[in-house]
Amino acid sequence: MESPGLTRRGSPARSRRVEALARSVPARPVAREGVGVILAASVLFGTMALFVRLAAREMPPVQITFVRFVGSFLILLVTTRGRGLARRGPRGPLVLRGLIGAAAISLYFVAIAGAGAGLATLLQNSYPVFAASFAALLLREPFSARLVAALALNLTGLGLVLAPEARLHPAAVMGALAACAAALLSGGAVVAARHLRRTESASVITTWFMAVGMVVTAPALAIGLPAPSVPLVLALAGVIVTSVAGQWLLHHGLGFISVARGSLMAATSVLTATVLEAIVLGEHLGAHVLVGACCMIAAVALATDRP
């Protein structure tokens, strides 16, 4: 005989509630996984900035951008066995993300050559403000007071880390403008990638990004390539490897967390770049760097843990 408790009408409803609760349990660990992935990407992007600076001694920045896209595209074709081009959704959004991203990267590399790595990185890494704003308007992602405070801390930290280098002079005006435009476009590119992660894998988004960027920056070859040297080849190899790994990790992580949180964590790449420049190029690390680093870490913590 069946027990009445097993056949009550309310039982299915309670079962559905239990199942819903069970499904919701992994959400927080998955979100934390996305945080770790994007923080790893930020380290790679910071390392890439150092390699770009080294390569720019011998090669124009737009050509460095082209080499970055070509090398990354070939690596992705090999590692995915061509599946990185097998999209699920329409081609248009992937091409648009590629165009925006290619323009942002090109302008950022131009800014490094024109305004210097310090000022260019400071201005470009303000893109979380644009990314969070675009995401709130276009993707209807929440824009809480907690995120506003995190964004403010992020900008404060960036200013403290690079303030001694942020000296505008007439020769750097065009570079500074390029960095501001790169920040605006980077915010749009992150939002586009977040939207695409609803239907496409990180490999597909990254492969299409590199393919479109390769086509967009190919005209830079018309000015002629510099003579190859061992330092240049090594620097370009570093740009390619750190770029493709960091870009894939960023796209992967954006599948688990919001645009605002993801971009805040990726923007900590300036800390890696500053430390590496001090180690490799012998640049001095002052107390302002430590204070700025604390502000940026606090911003990440504030944006990560929801109330």
- pLDDT tens digits, 98-116: 999 999 999 988 887 777 6
Tell me which of 82-91, 225-234, 258-267 is least confident. Answer: 258-267
Question: What number of residues does the chain have?
Answer: 307
pLDDT attached to residue 233: 96
Band of the pLDDT at 185, cuts 50, 70, 90? very high
Query: Is 307's pLDDT higher than 50?
Result: no
CA-wise closest residue to 90 among 170, 200, 182: 200
pLDDT attached to residue 24: 41
More confident residue, 7 or 168: 168
* Sequence-separated (6 or more) residues with CB below 8 Å from residue 278: 284, 285
* Burial status of residue 198 (CB atoms within 10 A of its CB: 0-12, 13-18, 19 or more): exposed
Band of the pLDDT at 212, cuts 50, 70, 90? very high
Share of the chain above pLDDT 90, in %: 32
Query: d(Cα 263, Cα 130) in Å, to the nearest integer?
Result: 10
pLDDT attached to residue 168: 53
Count of beta carbons in the 10 Å neighbourhood of residue 292: 22
Long-range contacts of 27-36 (CB under 8 A, 24+ apart): 30/256, 31/256, 31/257, 32/304, 33/256, 34/252, 34/253, 34/254, 34/255, 34/256, 34/257, 34/262, 35/253, 35/257, 35/261, 35/265, 35/300, 35/304
pTM for the predicted model, two decimal places: 0.76
Q: Which two tokens stand for residue 119?
A: 């000022």
Count of beta carbons in the 10 Å neighbourhood of residue 12: 9
What mean pLDDT is reported for the chain?
A: 79
Kindly state the greatest CA–CA separation across the chain: 90
